[in-house]
């Protein structure tokens, strides 16, 4: 079997490993971050949890780090108190981005993990089955419940050869996006194998696994081999190593000869808008940012430092460096590389996600920003009309030196040979362990004025008749539904306030119109509706504003699950051409839902404005149908 199938078999609770069938998996570890974790902790409160039932559950504070006022500090205090109450580890603000920090301190080959962050899949670099899900799935896992999902197909990607100079792991995953697009991995687990793996470190693999989320994959898996052992040894954790190698057994196959990969770049504003760097060379640049969970390794910062050593970046370029963890920042400093970056004009920021989630570092309108980040969805940077490009540290640094997009092979300098330390600056001081149960029992949640409770949602009505309030196109992201950035992120734990930002990237008047539509409303979407971040706010705030159902050509996996969890019908057109027949303002009706939904996947929607019928399907299991009928998974649990 493939490594992925071995991991699934070892953790299978119910179901069979037949693609498309619902299975349930035992969960060993969980990961939450502060932009989504506040809801997870509110869900644990609603569930009445006394103590985490996982091997390890860790809450990171890495997104909402800017404290322009009291709101983010209130979130941090709330999260700390919830960790103390429920028995979770707490990673203090500034300790590091969740994904590389978890890999350094907690990740273990052979384990399963769910995280309320779509890039949880990065831990697949260690031979884990790590899946990004909505916060409620994480809350249920912390409470000891299995993870339910459709059994994916296993997509084996064989790697051969060796990457040339000036080409790195980011270019490999950009090549995958160039070939297959943001939907290429839908309902698949990507598993990399082959002799080319011998040339990729565990952190190189992290870069590739992380952006499997941009391919729409359920997760990405690498074998647990010598490179993983070397990584764990450097972290003083070699005893956590277990070997797991593939024996074949792939449903779909692909191959990449690493020696043929060239520097690539994703143009604005989609991760799959990929071209060779030389094709867009000479384009002016106003900002370069190094860091994020998509390029978090010491090597990624060290190569940038070596490239700028003794040189000065262009005066028109803001050269920003976001260390991915305090530990990596310490190693970079011991190498002398931090001084090289400072000497070249770099702006050094705190260890965290920062500009990746739009918390600072917003670029100027009309100025190109090159970033080593995983996503460049419109407006995600914090600037509504942004021009964000995604590339490797080598390509980003080349642009910082020249002021224009530059293929690093054309810089006219020798490729730097960076020697990394064999042992990491292991730092556990900012990881706060769980309280003993007897102390945790006396802990109270610290709820400041900005911390709300989860809203109560009513059960699904038997009949719906409501207008289409908004119609959107293909690949709408959760960033567009529930925006990130310094204006909205501080309200992540305040659903009524956050709802005021819903869909304002696309229609600034949507929240007002939704509130004034007493009968509720429908949304119509294209392909891959809800791609991107796992944030369940993108389901909760439209639900709070009266959303009954989304009619789309297809849905992204995590958002589809989140819609079901909060009682929203996710319906797919049987005939995609029917999408074109519906206009904003059309009144749609659904009849007999409480009988129709349990009896089968087919439903008929009537357009009363045009007197037309459309045939749609849902993909819910019977378990999910029960939750939707109850108004969501939490109301359903409250009944039992």
- pLDDT tens track for 240-251: 999 999 998 999
Clarify whether residues 249 and 311 are in a common domain: no
In degrees and rounded to multiples of 5, residue 287 shows phi and psi of: -150, 145
Q: What is the pLDDT of residue 279?
A: 98
Domain that holds residue 387: 277-410
Q: What is the pLDDT of residue 427?
A: 87
Residue 451 covered by a domain = no
Closest CA to 341 of 260, 414, 421, 397: 397
Give Cα 283 distance to the centre of its chain.
29
Q: What is the pLDDT of residue 367?
A: 96
Q: What is the pLDDT of residue 384?
A: 86
**Domain endpoint, select from 229, 260, 291:** 260
Give Cα 111 distance to the centre of its chain.
19
Closest CA to 140 of 52, 225, 213, 68: 52
Torsion sign over Cα 527, 572, 496, 43: negative
Q: How far apart are CA 528 and CA 377, in angstroms?
A: 14
Q: What is the pLDDT of residue 149?
A: 95
pLDDT band of residue 198 (cuts 50, 70, 90) is very high
Name the residue with higher pLDDT: 420 or 489: 420
Clarify whether residues 196 and 285 are in a common domain: no
Q: Which of 156-165, 316-325, 373-382, 524-533 has the lowest mean pLDDT?
A: 373-382
> In sequence order, what are the residues at sequence separation of 6 or more whose Cβ sits closer than 8 angstroms to the Cβ of residue 416?
303, 306, 307
Here the tokens at position 537 are 């706010």
533 pairs with which residues across the strands? none
Q: What is the pLDDT of residue 70?
A: 87
Domain count, the chain: 3
Clarify whether residues 185 and 333 are in a common domain: no
Q: What is the pLDDT of residue 518?
A: 86
Per residue in 328-372, pLDDT (tens digit) is: 999 999 999 999 999 999 999 988 888 888 888 889 999 999 999
* pLDDT at 639 > cutoff 80: no
Q: How far apart are CA 408 and CA 395, in angstroms?
A: 6
Q: How far apart are CA 31 and CA 115, in angstroms?
A: 4
Q: How far apart are CA 11 and CA 26, in angstroms?
A: 5
* pLDDT at 253 > cutoff 80: yes
Per residue in 371-382, pLDDT (tens digit) is: 999 999 988 888
Clarify whether residues 221 and 308 are in a common domain: no
CATH at residue 494 = 3.20.19.10
* pLDDT at 96 > cutoff 80: yes
Residue 268 covered by a domain = no
**Domain endpoint, select from 374, 391, 410:** 410
In degrees and rounded to multiples of 5, residue 448 shows phi and psi of: -75, 180
Clarify whether residues 290 and 383 are in a common domain: yes
Query: In sequence order, which ranges of 217-367 are alpha helices (DSSP H)?
Result: 226-234, 298-308, 326-334, 337-343
Clarify whether residues 228 and 329 are in a common domain: no
Clarify whether residues 543 and 613 are in a common domain: yes
* pLDDT at 638 > cutoff 80: no
Residue 103 covered by a domain = yes
Clarify whether residues 183 and 318 are in a common domain: no
**Domain endpoint, select from 234, 260, 286:** 260
Q: How far apart are CA 217 and CA 120, in angstroms?
A: 12
Residue 232 covered by a domain = yes
* H/E run at residue 384: none
Residue 421 covered by a domain = no
Clarify whether residues 172 and 307 are in a common domain: no
Mean pLDDT, the chain, whole residue set = 95
CATH at residue 181 = 3.30.499.10
Clarify whether residues 17 and 107 are in a common domain: yes
* pLDDT at 455 > cutoff 90: no
0.85 exceeded by pTM: yes
* pLDDT at 581 > cutoff 80: yes
Residue 159 covered by a domain = yes
Residue 427 covered by a domain = no
Q: What is the DSSP letter of 391?
A: -
Clarify whether residues 506 and 537 are in a common domain: yes
Here the tokens at position 433 are 């362990």
Clarify whether residues 94 and 161 are in a common domain: yes
Residue 80 covered by a domain = yes
Q: Give me the mean pLDDT over the 455-462 stretch.
A: 90
* H/E run at residue 370: strand 368-371
Q: Give me the mean pLDDT over the 124-147 stretch.
A: 96
Here the tokens at position 229 are 């052992």
């Amino acid at each position: 079997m493939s490594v992925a199938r071995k991991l699934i078999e070892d953790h299978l609770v119910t179901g069979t490993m037949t693609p498309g069938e619902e299975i349930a998996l035992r969960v060993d570890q969980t990961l939450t971050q502060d932009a989504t974790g506040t809801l997870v902790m509110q869900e644990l409160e609603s569930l009445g949890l006394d103590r985490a039932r996982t091997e390890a559950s860790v809450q990171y504070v890495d997104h909402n780090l800017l404290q322009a006022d009291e709101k983010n500090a209130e979130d941090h205090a709330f999260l700390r108190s919830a960790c103390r109450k429920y028995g979770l580890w707490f990673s203090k603000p500034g300790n590091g981005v969740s994904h590389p920090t978890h890999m350094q301190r907690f990740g273990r080959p052979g384990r399963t993990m769910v995280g309320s962050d779509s890039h949880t899949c990065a831990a697949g670099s260690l031979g884990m089955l790590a899946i990004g899900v909505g916060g409620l799935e994480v809350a249920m896992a912390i409470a000891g419940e299995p993870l339910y999902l459709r059994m994916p197909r296993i997509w084996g990607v064989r790697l051969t050869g060796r990457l040339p100079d000036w080409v790195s792991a980011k270019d490999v995953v950009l090549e995958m996006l160039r070939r297959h697009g943001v939907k290429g991995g839908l309902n698949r687990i990507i598993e990399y194998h082959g002799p080319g793996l011998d040339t990729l470190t565990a952190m190189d693999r992290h870069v590739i696994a992380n952006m499997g989320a941009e391919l729409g994959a359920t997760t990405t898996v690498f074998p647990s081999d010598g490179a993983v052992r070397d990584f764990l040894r450097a972290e003083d954790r070699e005893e956590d190593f277990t070997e797991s190698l593939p024996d074949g057994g792939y449903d779909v196959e692909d191959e990449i000869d690493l020696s043929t990969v060239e520097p690539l770049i994703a143009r604005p504003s989609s991760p799959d808008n990929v071209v060779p760097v030389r094709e867009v060379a000479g384009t002016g640049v106003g900002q370069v940012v190094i860091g994020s969970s998509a390029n978090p390794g010491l090597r990624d910062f060290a190569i940038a430092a070596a490239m700028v050593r003794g040189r000065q970046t262009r005066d028109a370029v803001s050269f920003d460096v976001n260390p991915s963890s305090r530990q990596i920042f310490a190693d970079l400093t011991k190498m002398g590389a931090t001084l090289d970056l400072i000497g070249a004009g770099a702006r050094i920021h705190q260890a965290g996600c920062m500009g990746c989630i739009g918390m600072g570092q917003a670029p100027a309108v009309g100025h190109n920003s090159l970033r080593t980040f995983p996503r460049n969805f419109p407006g995600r940077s914090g600037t509504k009309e942004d021009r964000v490009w995604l590339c490797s540290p080598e390509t980003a640094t080349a642009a910082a030196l020249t002021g224009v997009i530059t293929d690093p092979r054309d810089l006219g300098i020798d490729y730097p040979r960076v020697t990394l330390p064999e042992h990491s600056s292991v730092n556990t001081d900012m990881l706060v362990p769980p309280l003993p149960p007897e102390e945790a029992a006396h802990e109270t949640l610290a709820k400041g004025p900005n911390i709300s409770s989860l809203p109560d949602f009513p059960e699904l009505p038997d009949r719906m008749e409501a207008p289409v309030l908004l119609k959107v196109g293909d690949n709408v992201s959760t960033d567009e539904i529930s925006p990130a950035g310094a204006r909205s992120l501080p309200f992540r734990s305040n659903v009524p306030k956050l709802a005021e930002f819903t869909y304002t990237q696309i229609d600034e008047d949507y929240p007002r119109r939704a509130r004034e539509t007493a009968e509720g409303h429908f949304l119509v979407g294209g392909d891959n509706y809800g791609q991107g971040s796992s944030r369940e706010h993108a389901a909760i705030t439209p639900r709070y504003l009266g959303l009954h159902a989304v009619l789309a050509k297809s849905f992204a996996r995590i958002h589809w699950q989140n819609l079901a969890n909060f009682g929203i019908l996710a319906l797919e057109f049987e005939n995609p051409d029917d999408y074109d027949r519906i206009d904003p303002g059309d009144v749609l009706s659904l009849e007999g839902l409480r009988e129709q939904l349990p009896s089968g996947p087919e439903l008929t929607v009537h357009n009363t404005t045009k007197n037309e019928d459309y045939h749609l399907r849902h993909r819910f299991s019977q378990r999910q149908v029960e939750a939707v009928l109850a108004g969501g998974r939490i109301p359903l649990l409250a009944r039992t």
